[in-house]
Structure 1
């Protein structure tokens, strides 16, 4: 979680990207819970690798501890003080790297239902994609074992793209290989990468298998985050396991077109909301139409027609006015 999320600015200027809510819950909360569902076994510990304490402060730490506790696990907090790559980030959590473990990047959401292969030393989660040349993909042998990781192949290798979630039967083996990478100062683009540790594990005969997810939803930038919000709302409505519209929502001459997430104490007045809209707590929307959008907490929207919009916390937007003050990295289209 140590990155600054620059592609999601301005929303990540004030809130760390993994804590930006999508469909009513922070990205990292949804990710951890979804991984727990796939594992189908108790979780002892959740280790979070954060960045600068000035950015990932006490409030962030407390929210992550609460997340781990909700799964019956303890939380361990580590810091990556320099952006030196995925391998370096993992090694920042070195005291936690023993036994069975999942490693995941915190800007991805998934929907998956599969059983971990008991014969595998490791499982790399993948998604079938239409354009594998745009991704890092796995190369498989006749036994469907992963024998190579190939970044953006120019010729076809497979259509199984690596999504950034890994299971290790004994993550201590990866720790040993990453320590070798650090000791030998082996970098790519000035960074230490998890793939170099994985390749050394493969070279020593460790068996890697794929676990294919049904949906892989990125939250890397504004457009894809809004799209992911819509997909997640569809899934939650189909599941029927979450209250998507709070009982405290005040509705006056307004219509909600499902699926939507609408938080506590939201006020809707002369508004049409949905489909695929998430609205955070305490927001007021008046004389507006909003669809396919993500609006955070304590914001006021008036006289607006919004589609494919992402609006942060404590924003005031009135579509009747032309004199506006917009912060760094904001976009009006």
Structure 2
């Protein structure tokens, strides 16, 4: 079995951060979105990965090679982004007819990964949502199987949203449906949809079971990214910062602080992730994500995301600032 992880999206909802850093590499609870997904797959026994890269793809390659030097990894370039369906389609030569786990590169969920991987049936991850119109939606029959899926329906017949995790045994039929939809120009909301290909498979008689995820961490928007960071800090029990001896500084867990940080005269936490080699002085930071190699002085930050190589000075703010930025708020 191979894991396919699409990380070619431009991450427009997380700009300015995604201008210089793929959203899959944004720090989250001491890890990155991508490392959490890879670790889940490795723990379930999957050891071969196909990364669909595009915008800032070199950073994905460099990160994976540095973090997972022994990983069997393939990289497929999606030059023209035409949707998730198109992205999966271009992996065909790498996948061949192997079973696949497809996990969208901004999707983190709590679920029994090993049980899904070892299932004798294709499976789709689902979760009940209040408004399913912004998601792919699964309709489930009385026997507990999925009998129809539709992408972002105007009038949903179900409130079970597809979370972006797909275990597919019949990969040959998947690629046949993807290619057929592409040749027909069958687009949904302007893109070639993976959901449409899955529905094509259902019409051909392929059986899909739903599996419910316990928690679905949304990493696509600033507010939900901060919520996910706070929840994951608690989940990973991120109290390792107690061992750090920072001068005249109070640490309020849960907090994750990277290696090489220099923090003085500050209050950090709760719910804060700080990248490596960041300097903070005379500041208060809570419910925020701070990138690596940044410099914060005399500032109060709450509900903020600060990119790497960033300098900030002065006053209280709620900010969303990309990499390589220097701002004096004094």
TM-score, with length taken from structure 2: 0.87
The structure-2 alpha-carbon separation of the partners of 1:315 and 1:66, relative to structure 1 and needing over 3 Å to count, comes to: closer
Structure 2 residue aligned with 1:184 = 184
Structure 2 residue aligned with 1:105 = 104
Gaps of 5+ in 1: none
Q: Secondary structure at the match of 2:57?
A: coil
RMSD: 2.6
250, 275, 279: which one aligns with 2:274: 279
1:173-196 deviation line (CA, Å, top 9, x unaligned): 201211112222222243211122
> Contact 1:69–1:75 at 8 Å: present in 2 too?
no
Counterparts of 1:95-244 in structure 2, within 5 Å, are 95-97=93-95, 98-113=97-112, 115-116=115-116, 118-120=119-121, 122-153=122-153, 157-237=157-237, 244=240
- Say whether 1:30 aligns with 2:36: yes
Q: Distance in 2 between matches of 1:66 and 1:254?
A: 32
Q: Distance in 2 between matches of 1:188 and 1:155?
A: 15
Structure 2 residue aligned with 1:291 = 286
TM-score, with length taken from structure 1: 0.86
Structure 1 residue aligned with 2:257 = 262
Q: Secondary structure at the match of 1:281?
A: coil
Gaps of 5+ in 2: 1-6
Q: Distance in 1 between matches of 2:179 and 2:146?
A: 22
Q: Distance in 1 between matches of 2:310 and 2:42?
A: 35
1:138-159 deviation line (CA, Å, top 9, x unaligned): 1110111111113445656333
Counterparts of 1:4-83 in structure 2, within 5 Å, are 4-37=10-43, 40=44, 42-52=45-55, 55-57=56-58, 59-66=59-66, 69=69, 73-83=71-81
The structure-2 alpha-carbon separation of the partners of 1:76 and 1:310, relative to structure 1 and needing over 3 Å to count, comes to: same
The structure-2 alpha-carbon separation of the partners of 1:207 and 1:67, relative to structure 1 and needing over 3 Å to count, comes to: farther
